[in-house]
């Protein structure tokens, strides 16, 4: 909400706990769309996020994402 106008584009692939498939998201400003991707299978499970915009605080984005990670 606070940075919606500063986010030109975002996209990523997430590994969600308990879900055998990739979670794919993309968005422009405050509009976000997601879909279920293919199964991870034997591939390493990763989280990859890309944000393109202006006045974005990399450290705050990283901290916010780290706070959302499931603890094993």
Measure the CA–CA gap between 43 and 52, rounded to whole angstroms. 27
Q: Please state the domain extents for the chain.
A: 4-68
CATH number of 4-68: 3.30.1220.10
Q: Per-residue pLDDT for 71 more than 80?
A: no
C-alpha to C-alpha distance for 7 and 55, rounded to whole angstroms: 9
Is the pLDDT reported for residue 72 higher than 70? no
pLDDT in tens, 14-29: 999 999 999 999 999 8
> Do residues 6 and 56 touch, judged by C-beta distance below 8 A?
yes
pLDDT at 47: 93
pLDDT tens track for 35-58: 999 999 999 999 999 999 999 988
In angstroms, the CA 54 to CA 8 distance is 8
> How many other CB atoms sit within 10 Å of the CB of residue 10?
19
Of 12 and 61, more confident: 12
Supply the pLDDT for residue 61.
86
């Amino acid at each position: 909400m606070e940075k919606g106008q500063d986010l030109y584009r975002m996209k990523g692939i997430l590994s969600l706990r308990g879900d055998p498939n990739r979670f794919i998201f993309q968005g422009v400003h405050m509009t976000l769309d997601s879909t279920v991707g293919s199964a991870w299978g034997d591939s390493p499970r990763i989280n990859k996020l890309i944000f393109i915009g202006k006045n974005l605080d990399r450290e705050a984005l990283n901290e916010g994402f780290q706070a959302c990670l499931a603890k094993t």
